[in-house]
């Protein structure tokens, strides 16, 4: 009979680059070997605690929460948590140590232990070479009754002697001794990985790591018999004494919403009602429809029942701030699209437009905190973040963390470096992985890249890489997930510094929060909101008309016609090539069509093969049918095809007998299965449930495949609806205010799919005049110019390019120029606006001085002749020498326009080559429009993009541009391999192939590619390569 034992000192892989096993692995093994409890004591962090808690519940083995730490000026120790008070003290200590240091480091000092420490047990990891008497005395004064001396034996040089020394020390200082394992891995088999991580941590190779490696693999969860051999029974028994004291679990944490949002005399419930009713008056000034009142009442009742008032009040407060600063925002998520949120201004979607969504607002069965993400204008999100920090204080508000995990390429890089592979080989190996692949490099790719996967060196690399993938690597900052709490956050979870100055993050990530029940609001940034805000501002400024997202005319016919023509360059979401190819087939003509459109062109539905069935049904080519009447309710709005995450969950309830809670668990598994697996038990459960309810096995199998396809990519309807609102708004603006919209897009750049050059070409194709950059007329931003005989700005304006278009030009200088206009000479401009040599040369080269100095050659000559003059001579006339410089040719101008502005208002480069191209029998994109399906054609254009969609195997989409528009080229894998050089290298490409035209969508299936780049002779044209 072996002794009973609890491991009290064990690191998981959240001790980054130290712990070589996950909590799950540790708990499974500890349970199997009959341990009584397992402490996870990651080094000065609780980042892995929630996962450890989950693993402990799964393995049915108690978790002891704790942390190992090394004091800068003192001993190393392990702190173990007895109760909630102890937990809070530990959080405070870790927070202190982490906040004092830069990201990823900590510094703990003895003075940090002056604060109360009750509720904590301490294991002293004594260094016998140090001043043990002094350290022991100090520790005993801190933990008078809860200090133990840890005895850790790992078959070192002389374990017997070490044991005797430690026991003697314990006796001398009257501290009880206890056995511990200093566990770094669950099993001995992780020894190589642990050595590798040590090398990674020290930025050296394993061979160089030398004595920094452990001498052996004893630091794992050893079988109890082994431990009984090593340790005196009393030391083992003592572990149980400590384990019995440390009974704290994370379930005891009680999160409280912030309270200050409720004014005196109100409860959260009454205040939310008050705000909602106020908002209803604002939303429906002409009278509140009965339907809305009913909905609001129902929702308020549900919120009150679930106790989520404070959550809505918190989001409302943030949105209210944004509104007061005129920052555009839009909420999304299941709870966001509700009548209450509409009234509170969190969403702009009028429930009247979308009444089917609100059924899934919140549910009693799903015991899940409400989830609202709010998108803010990209440029101004920081103001919102700072508001939250100021309002609640840094102690109570922090960003959530993201535990960045190893992907294939990163893992193979780190392992390769640790094993001393040369950089070229490491790069080549990483290239084989693909950046985001969750797997190691495929063997075939390795062989193709010239590796021999059977070599022992490479096999070691691959085996270690496979083990390392999925391990957390470091904590980084979540893009916008905020946690706000009534108590200081460090009473819930340690807080540490993020890489960005003035940012703090909590040690838990998004998934952890759900398990512990913390409130989280996502404060996200969206470029399109900036563009829409700028468009609104331009319209208001010129036409005096004030639009908002909510007041734009709904269901506008001409807007939908424009969308159906795929005339959507620049708008939100439906501007990509894949989306544009879908639009003429889907022909959206209601808001809900847009919701579907946003969701359907995504990897989820594409991989689940849902796109074509939906299209066929919509176009009446296939009968709309439902497997059963219950499912008709679920799938009617998508014509019987599952497109949304919510529908899958609904299906599980209706057709397979899931409870709401279980279907929610299915949603989580769906999101996580690629990472962790764990969908298989749902397959059985779903299939059985569906068979029992009379569905066919084949149908059940198909549904399950679709669920898997959804996996990581499934798009929730509630998000699609919020996006669709912005899509509609941007389309409406493009349709009715095209100049203002294009202007605002360029001013918000970088964003979206298209470059300013492409946006301007699109504007010109819509008969919008574009005007050159000129110091006498241009501001920093692009502006609108109305005709002189149009004082009320009713006509269509021209776009005046702003000085921001000049690459490298600075905003301050542009603003000085705009404020000091007009100028009479180059000299005056330079001197009054105080332009340095760089600025004036940029202006001259960009052609922005043409009204003062003529063509750009003369302008450059002129600016070079202006020197800083002493004030004494400021009045002297400047004698400028008239010299004859050659004027730039048309081609010169195009060349320099692209180099300096990234666009040209002169002829499109291809129009200069049109004669040459015609003699090569190339058609223009305009001629192509009138060409029939199936024709053999030849076209040429600038290569504007090469895309290799993940969903299409091996095919590459090339976008060509000429003076009339774009041509979509499809290059199949085989041709791409054969003509790789042209495909990768050409800036100007001639393509011969077969035209496929259907429903107004044209694709050119390439048969042969020719590189015509030499014709361009130096013209610089950017391409979006393989993004």
Q: Is 443 in the site for other proteins (CB under 8 A)?
A: no
Neighbours of 876 (CB within 10 A): 8
> Binding of other proteins at residue 998 (CB under 8 A)?
no
Asked if 456 is part of the footprint of other proteins (rule: CB under 8 A), the reply reads yes
Q: Tell me: cis bond preceding 284? Omega within 30 of 0 counts.
A: no
**Residue 286 interacts with other proteins (CB under 8 A): yes or no:** no
> At closest approach, how far in Å is the CB of 450 from other proteins?
6
- Contact by Cβ (8 Å): 604, 711: yes
Q: Based on CB atoms, which residue is closest to other proteins, 216 or 684?
A: 216
698 in contact with other proteins (CB under 8 A): no
Out of 30, 149, 426, 528, the residue judged to bind other proteins by CB under 8 A = 426
Spatial distance between the Cα atoms of 330 and 267, rounded to a whole number of angstroms: 27
For residue 125, what are its two tokens? 């990891």
- Considering only 620, 694, 750, 886, the residue that binds other proteins (CB under 8 A) is 886
Q: Does 207 bind other proteins (CB under 8 A)?
A: yes
Task: Compute, in degrees rounded to 10, the torsion defined by CA atoms 739, 743, 745, 746.
Answer: 140
Nearby residues of 146 by Cβ (< 8 Å), 6 or more positions away: 82, 120, 121, 122, 245
* CA nearest neighbour of 806 among 896, 867, 910, 866: 896
Integer CA distances (angstroms), 692 to 283, 657, 688, in order:
48, 9, 6
Q: Please choose, out of 168-176, 331-339, 744-752, 978-986, the segment that lies near other proteins by the rule CB under 8 A.
A: 978-986
- Pick from 1, 157, 872, 930 the residue near other proteins by CB under 8 A: 157
Residues 771-789: b if buried by 16+ CB within 10 A, e if exposed = ebbbbebbbbbbbbebeee
SS3 category, 120: strand
Taking the complex as a whole, the smallest distance from the CB of residue 230 to other proteins amounts, in Å, to: 11
210 binds other proteins (CB under 8 A): yes
216 binds other proteins (CB under 8 A): yes
For residue 206, state whether it binds other proteins (rule: CB under 8 A). yes
- Interface with other proteins (CB under 8 A), residue from 881, 919, 953, 1027: 881
Question: Does position 844 bind other proteins by CB under 8 A?
Answer: yes
| Cβ distance to other proteins smaller for residue 470 or 865 | 865
Q: What is the DSSP letter of 487?
A: S
Minimum Å gap between C-beta 850 and other proteins is 14
Give the one residue of 114, 174, 211, 501 binding other proteins; rule: CB under 8 A: 211
Please, what is the minimum distance in Å from the beta carbon of residue 451 to other proteins? Answer: 11
Distance in Å, CB of 431 to other proteins, minimum: 7
Which helix (DSSP H) or strand (DSSP E) does residue 475 occupy? strand 472-484
Q: Can residue 69 be called a binding residue for other proteins (CB under 8 A)?
A: no
> Which whole-number Å values give the CA distances from 720 to 267, 597, 666, 723, 724, in the listed order?
34, 9, 20, 5, 6
Please say which residue, 409 or 707, places its beta carbon nearer to other proteins: 409
The token duo for 616 is 């066929």
Q: To the nearest 10°, report the CA torsion of 638, 639, 645, 649.
A: 130
Q: Could you tell me where the beta strands, DSSP code E, fall in 839-998?
A: 936-947, 956-962, 965-971, 988-998
Shortest distance (Å) from residue 967 CB to other proteins? 24
Spatial CA neighbour of 316 closest among 248, 265, 419, 391: 391
How far apart are the C-alpha atoms of 340 and 520, rounded to whole Å? 19
- By CB under 8 A, name the one of 184, 860, 944, 1003 that touches other proteins: 860
DSSP string, 670-699: HHHHHHH---HHHHHHHHHHHHHTT--HHH
Cβ nearer to other proteins, comparing 537 with 841: 841
- Segment lying near other proteins (by CB under 8 A), choices 212-220, 383-391, 474-482, 719-727: 212-220
Whose structure tokens read 């805000």? 533
**Integer Cα distance of 219 and 19 in angstroms:** 10
CA dist., res. 310 & res. 272, Å (int) = 8
Site string for other proteins, 367-406 (x = CB under 8 A): ----------------------------------------
Contact between residue 358 and residue 309 where contact means Cβ atoms under 8 Å apart: no
**By C-beta, is 74 or 420 nearer to other proteins?**
420
Interaction between residue 187 and other proteins (CB under 8 A): no
Report the distance separating Cα 664 and Cα 514, nearest Å: 12
- Rounded least distance, CB 273 to other proteins, Å: 58
Using the rule CB under 8 A, which residue among 58, 102, 161, 836 binds other proteins?
Answer: 161
What minimum distance in Å lies between the beta carbon of 113 and other proteins? 29
* 172 near other proteins, judged by CB under 8 A: no
Cβ neighbors of 629 (< 8 A, separation 6 or more) are none
d(CA 1023, CA 959): 9
Among 73, 424, 789, 875, binds other proteins (CB under 8 A): 424
According to the binding rule CB under 8 A, does residue 962 interact with other proteins?
Answer: no
Using the contact rule CB under 8 A, the part of the chain among 424-432, 433-441, 597-605, 670-678 near other proteins is 424-432
Q: Interface with other proteins includes 921 (CB under 8 A)?
A: no
- Does position 1008 interact with other proteins (CB under 8 A)? The reply is no
Q: Does 104 bind other proteins (CB under 8 A)?
A: no
Nearby residues of 617 by Cβ (< 8 Å), 6 or more positions away:
623, 624, 639, 640, 641
* Residue range at the interface with other proteins (CB under 8 A); choices 383-391, 404-412, 427-435, 613-621: 427-435
How many angstroms separate the CA atoms of 114 and 120, rounded? 14
What CA–CA distance (Å, rounded) separates 579 from 957?
13
Using rule CB under 8 A, residue 156 touches other proteins: yes
- The binder of other proteins chosen from 356, 499, 819, 885 (CB under 8 A): 885
Pick the closer one to other proteins by CB: 29 or 585. Answer: 29
Show the CA angle centred on residue 106, arms to residues 188 and 46, nearest 5°.
Answer: 60
Q: Confirm or reject binding of residue 850 to other proteins (CB under 8 A).
A: no
Counting contacts by CB under 8 A, is residue 936 touching other proteins? no
Site for other proteins in 782-841 (CB under 8 A): 841
Complex with other proteins: residue 488 or 865, whichever CB lies closer: 865
Contact between 448 and other proteins (CB under 8 A)? Answer: yes
**Which CB atom, from 71 or from 984, has the smaller least distance to other proteins?**
984
Detail the DSSP E strand segments found in 319-430: 329-332, 372-377, 397-405
Closer residue to other proteins in complex, CB, 240/984: 984
For residue 822, the minimal CB distance to other proteins (Å) is 25
Q: Residue 217 interacts with other proteins (CB under 8 A)?
A: yes
733/846 with CB nearer other proteins = 846
Mark 452-483 as b/e (b = at least 16 C-beta within 10 Å): eeeeeebeebbebbbbbbbbbbebbbbebbbb
Q: Given the complex with other proteins, which of 488 and 854 has the nearer CB atom?
A: 854
Q: Compute, in degrees rounded to 10, the torsion defined by CA atoms 883, 884, 885, 887.
A: 140
DSSP labels, 217-286: S--B---HHHHHHHS-HHHHHHHHHHHHH----GGG-------TTSPTT--HHHHHHHHHHHHHHHH-TT
d(CA 644, CA 719): 10
Residue 3 beta carbon to other proteins: minimum distance, rounded to whole angstroms: 21
* Binding of other proteins by 474 (CB under 8 A): no
Contact flag: residue 856 with other proteins (CB under 8 A): yes
- Please work out the total of residues on this chain that contact other proteins, with binding judged by CB under 8 A: 58
| Residue 981 sits in the site that holds other proteins (CB under 8 A) | yes
Chain positions contacting other proteins, by CB under 8 A: 154-161, 188, 191-192, 195, 206-213, 215-218, 419, 423-424, 426-428, 431, 448-450, 456, 460, 841, 844-845, 856-857, 860-861, 864-865, 867, 881, 883, 885-888, 892, 896, 980-981, 984-985
């Amino acid at each position: 009979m072996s002794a009973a034992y609890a491991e009290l000192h064990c690191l998981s892989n959240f001790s980054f680059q130290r712990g070589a096993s996950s909590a799950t692995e540790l708990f499974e093994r500890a349970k199997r070997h009959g341990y009584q409890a397992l402490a996870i004591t990651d080094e000065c962090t609780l980042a892995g605690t929630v996962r450890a808690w989950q693993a402990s519940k799964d393995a049915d083995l108690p978790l002891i929460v704790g942390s190992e730490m090394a004091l800068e000026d003192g001993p190393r120790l392990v702190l173990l948590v007895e109760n909630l008070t102890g937990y809070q003290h530990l959080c405070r200590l870790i927070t202190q140590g982490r906040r004092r240091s830069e990201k990823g480091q900590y510094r703990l000092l003895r003075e940090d232990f002056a604060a109360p420490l009750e509720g904590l047990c301490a294991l002293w990891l004594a260094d016998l070479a140090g001043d043990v008497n002094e350290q022991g005395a100090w520790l005993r004064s801190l933990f008078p009754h809860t200090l133990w001396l840890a005895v850790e034996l790992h078959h070192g040089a002389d374990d017997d002697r070490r044991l005797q020394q430690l026991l003697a020390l314990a006796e001398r200082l009257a501290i009880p001794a206890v056995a511990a394992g200093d566990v770094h891995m669950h099993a001995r088999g992780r020894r190589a990985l642990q050595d590798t991580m040590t090398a990674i941590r020290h930025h050296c190779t394993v061979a160089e790591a030398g004595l920094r490696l452990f001498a052996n693999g004893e630091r794992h969860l050893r079988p109890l018999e082994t431990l009984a051999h090593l340790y005196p029974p009393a030391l083992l028994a003592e572990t149980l004494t400590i384990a019995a004291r440390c009974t704290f679990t994370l379930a005891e944490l009680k999160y409280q919403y912030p309270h200050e949002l409720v004014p005196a005399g109100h409860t959260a419930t009454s205040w939310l009602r008050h705000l909602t009713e106020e908002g209803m008056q604002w939303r429906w000034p002409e009278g509140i429809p009965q339907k809305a009142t009913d909905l609001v009442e129902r929702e308020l009742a549900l919120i009150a029942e679930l106790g989520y008032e404070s959550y809505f009040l918190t989001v409302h407060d943030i949105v209210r701030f944004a509104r007061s600063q005129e920052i555009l925002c839009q909420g999304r998520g299941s709870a966001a699209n509700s009548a209450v949120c509409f009234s509170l201004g969190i969403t702009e979607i009028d429930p009247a437009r979308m009444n089917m969504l609100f059924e899934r607002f919140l549910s009693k069965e799903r015991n899940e905190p409400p989830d609202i993400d709010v998108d803010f204008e990209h440029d101004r999100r920081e103001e919102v973040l700072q508001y939250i920090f100021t309002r609640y204080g840094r102690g109570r508000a922090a960003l959530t963390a993201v535990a960045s995990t190893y992907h294939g390429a990163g893992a193979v890089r780190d392992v390769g470096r640790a094993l001393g592979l040369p950089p070229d080989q490491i790069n080549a190996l990483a290239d084989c992985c693909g950046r985001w692949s969750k797997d190691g490099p495929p063997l075939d790719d390795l062989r193709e890249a010239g590796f021999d996967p059977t070599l022992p060196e490479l096999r070691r690399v691959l085996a270690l890489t496979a083990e390392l993938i999925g391990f957390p690597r470091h904590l980084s900052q979540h893009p916008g997930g905020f946690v706000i709490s009534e108590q200081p956050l460090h009473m819930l979870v340690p807080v540490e510094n993020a890489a960005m100055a003035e940012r703090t993050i909590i040690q838990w990530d998004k998934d952890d929060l759900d398990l512990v029940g913390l409130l989280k609001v996502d404060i996200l940034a969206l470029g399109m909101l900036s563009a829409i805000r700028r468009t609104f501002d331009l319209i208001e400024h010129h036409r005096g008309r004030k639009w908002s997202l909510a007041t734009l005319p709904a269901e506008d016919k001409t807007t939908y016609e424009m969308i159906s023509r795929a005339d959507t360059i620049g708008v939100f979401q439906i501007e990509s090539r894949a989306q544009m190819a879908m639009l003429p087939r889907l022909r959206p003509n209601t808001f809900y069509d847009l919701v579907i459109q946003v969701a359907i062109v995504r990897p989820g539905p594409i991989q689940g093969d849902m796109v074509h069935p939906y299209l066929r049904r919509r176009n009446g080519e296939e009968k709309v049918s439902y497997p059963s009447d219950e499912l008709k309710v679920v799938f009617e709005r998508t014509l019987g095809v599952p497109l949304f995450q919510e529908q899958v969950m609904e299906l599980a309830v209706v057709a397979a007998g899931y409870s709401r809670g279980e279907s929610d668990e299915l949603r989580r598994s769906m999101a996580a299965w690629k990472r962790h697996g764990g969908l298989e038990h749902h397959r059985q459960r779903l299939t059985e449930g569906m068979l029992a309810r009379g569905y066919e096995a084949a149908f059940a199998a198909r549904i399950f495949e679709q669920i898997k396809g959804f996996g990581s990519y499934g798009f929730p309807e509630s998000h699609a609806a919020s996006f669709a609102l912005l899509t509609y708004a941007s389309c409406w603006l493009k349709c009715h205010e095209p100049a203002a919209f294009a202007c605002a897009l360029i001013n918000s750049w970088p964003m979206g799919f298209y470059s300013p050059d492409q946006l301007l070409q699109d504007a010109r194709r819509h008969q919008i005049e574009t005007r050159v950059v000129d110091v006498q007329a241009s501001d920093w931003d692009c502006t609108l110019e109305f005709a002189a005989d149009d004082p009320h700005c009713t006509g269509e304006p021209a776009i005046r390019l702003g000085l921001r278009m000049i690459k490298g030009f600075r905003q301050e200088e542009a603003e000085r120029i705009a404020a000091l206009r007009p100028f009479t000479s180059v000299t005056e401009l330079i001197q009054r606006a105080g332009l340095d040599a760089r600025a004036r040369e940029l202006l001259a080269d960009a052609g922005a001085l043409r009204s003062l100095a003529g063509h750009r050659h003369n302008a450059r000559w002129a600016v070079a002749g202006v020197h800083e003059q002493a004030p004494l001579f400021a009045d002297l006339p400047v004698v400028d020498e008239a010299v004859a410089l050659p004027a730039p040719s048309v081609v010169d101008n195009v060349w320099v326009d692209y180099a300096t502005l990234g666009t040209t208002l002169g002829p499109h480069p291809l129009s200069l080559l049109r004669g040459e191209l015609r003699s090569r029998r190339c058609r223009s994109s305009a001629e192509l429009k009138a060409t029939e399906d199936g024709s053999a054609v030849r076209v040429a254009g600038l290569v504007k993009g090469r895309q290799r969609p993940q969903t299409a195997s091996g095919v590459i989409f090339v976008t060509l541009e000429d003076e009339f528009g774009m041509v979509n080229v499809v290059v199949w894998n085989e041709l791409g391999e054969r003509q790789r050089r042209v495909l990768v290298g050409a800036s100007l490409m001639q393509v011969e192939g077969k035209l496929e035209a259907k429903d107004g969508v044209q694709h050119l299936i390439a048969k042969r590619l020719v590189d015509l780049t030499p014709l361009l002779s130096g013209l610089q044209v950017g391409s979006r390569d393989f993004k």
